[in-house]
């Protein structure tokens, strides 16, 4: 999910959820990098196809706050049933504060375990696919992880964002979501996995 910072015009990237201000029209430019998907938050509006090489436009203006389930409504491959996301509708002031916070770089590690986790993240090449603003990680293939610990879910709504869930996702990616592009890192020592998971969970 990409937002445009109204102050600077910079692009802010997140994943797994969409934050929307209540009572304000929100424009979605919907496209796909691979196959046809269909964006659908049943409580907020109708379906809209996401087609490679094309941008379909959708305008939503939610009238109530809350967390609403979104799905891909077009069969798109072996993990189609595992493509979920949360649409989080909040008051305008809360949305503006959230977006301003998302525009900031990640905070440096605050304790030894988080420092070890960042070192493991960099040592194992995770920054080749993922970016964490404020660090050397600048990949673009995978989701931006700058504030990943503040999200409600991982892996398209399959897992939460505590240390145990991060550890499971890093170590057993394909058991959790078949055909995910991310390789599994179950060959790493358990402590290294836990340190990385702890660091990521702290990125709020």
Mean pLDDT estimate for the chain = 95
* Across 102-115, average pLDDT: 96
Distance (Å, whole) CA 37 – CA 72 = 6
pLDDT band, very low/low/confident/very high, at 5 (cuts 50, 70, 90)? confident
Any idea which of 2-11, 21-30, 158-167 has the lowest mean pLDDT? Answer: 2-11
Distance (Å, whole) CA 20 – CA 17 = 10
Distances from the Cα of 23 to the Cα of 3, 60, 90, angstroms: 18, 9, 9
pLDDT band, very low/low/confident/very high, at 99 (cuts 50, 70, 90)? very high
Distance (Å, whole) CA 144 – CA 46 = 28
CA dihedral 42, 48, 52, 57 (to 10 degrees): -120
pLDDT at 179 over 90: no
* Across 37-49, average pLDDT: 96
pLDDT at 9 over 90: no
pLDDT at 21 over 90: yes
* Across 13-34, average pLDDT: 95
pLDDT at 6 over 90: no
- The answer to whether 103 and 57 are in contact (CB under 8 A) is no
For residue 43, the model assigns a pLDDT of 96
Distance (Å, whole) CA 74 – CA 47 = 9
Which of 159, 158, 135, 155 has its CA nearest to residue 143?
A: 155
pLDDT band, very low/low/confident/very high, at 77 (cuts 50, 70, 90)? confident
- The answer to whether 197 and 107 are in contact (CB under 8 A) is no
* Across 175-184, average pLDDT: 92
* Across 46-66, average pLDDT: 96
What pTM, to 2 d.p., does this model score? 0.91
* Across 35-61, average pLDDT: 96
Q: Kindly write down the DSSP assignment for every residue of the chain, as one continuous string.
A: -EEE-TTT--EEE--SEEEEETTS-EEEEE-BSSS-EEEE-TTT---EEE-BT--EEEEE---S-EEEEEEE-S--STTGGG-EEEEEEE-HHHHHHHHHHHTSPPPPP-SHHHHHHHHHHHHTTGGGT-B-BTBS-B--SS---TTGGGSS-BTTTTB-SSHHHHHHHHH-HHHHSTT-SSPP-TTS-HHHHHHHHHHHHT--
Q: Which tokens sit at 10?
A: 């910079």
pLDDT band, very low/low/confident/very high, at 113 (cuts 50, 70, 90)? very high
């Amino acid at each position: 999910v990409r937002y445009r910072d109204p102050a600077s015009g910079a692009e802010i990237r997140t994943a797994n959820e969409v934050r929307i201000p209540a009572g304000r029209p929100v424009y979605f430019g919907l496209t796909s990098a691979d196959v046809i998907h269909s964006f659908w938050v049943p409580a907020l509006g109708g379906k809209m196809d996401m087609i490679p090489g094309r941008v379909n436009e959708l305008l939503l203006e939610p009238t109530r706050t809350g967390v609403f389930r979104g799905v891909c409504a077009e069969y798109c491959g072996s993990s189609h049933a595992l493509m979920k996301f949360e649409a989080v509708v909040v008051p305008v002031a809360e949305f503006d504060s959230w977006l301003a916070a998302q525009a900031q770089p990640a905070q440096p590690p605050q304790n030894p375990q988080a420092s070890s986790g960042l070192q493991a993240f960099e040592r194992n090449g995770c920054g080749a696919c993922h970016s964490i603003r404020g660090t050397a990680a600048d990949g673009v293939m995978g989701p931006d992880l700058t504030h990943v610990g503040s999200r409600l879910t991982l892996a398209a709504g399959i897992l939460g964002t505590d240390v145990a869930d991060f550890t499971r996702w890093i170590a057993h990616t394909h058991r959790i979501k078949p055909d995910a592009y991310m390789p599994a890192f179950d060959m790493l020592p358990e402590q290294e996995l836990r340190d990385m998971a702890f660091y990521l969970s702290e990125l709020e």
